A = this chain, B = another copy of it.
Amino acid sequence: MTKPKRISKIVIKRLPLYNRVLQQLEENKAEVVSSAQLAEKLGRTPAQIRKDLTYFGQFGRRGVGYKVSELREKLREILGIHRRIKVAIVGAGRLGQALMAYPGFRKQGFNIVAAFDIDPQKIGRVINQVKIYPLVELERFMRRGGIDIVILATPAPVAQEIVDRLLKLGIKAILNFVPARLVVPENVIVHYVDLAIELESLCYYTK
A binding-site residues for B, Cβ under 8 Å: 12-13, 15-17, 19-20, 41-43, 78-81, 85, 87, 94-95, 97-99, 101-105, 107-108, 110, 148-149, 151, 172-175, 179, 181, 189, 191, 193-207
Contacts and interface: CB of A to CB of B under 8 A. Distances in A.
A173 B205 CA distance: 7
B95 A148 contact: no
Nearest to A195: B104
Given A98-B99, A101-B94, A104-B195, A202 B175 contact: yes
A195 B105 contact: yes
A94 B87 contact: no
Given A87-B199, A99-B195, A189-B205, 15 more contacts: A13-B201, A15-B201, A20-B197, A42-B181, A79-B201, A80-B203, A81-B200, A85-B199, A94-B101, A105-B196, A108-B196, A148-B206, A149-B199, A173-B206, A193-B193
Contacts of A78: 204
Contacts of A101: 94-95, 98
B104 A179 contact: yes
Interface centre among A79, A101, A204, A207 (most CB of B within 10 A): A204
A79 B204 contact: yes
Contacts of A98: 94-95, 97-99, 101-102
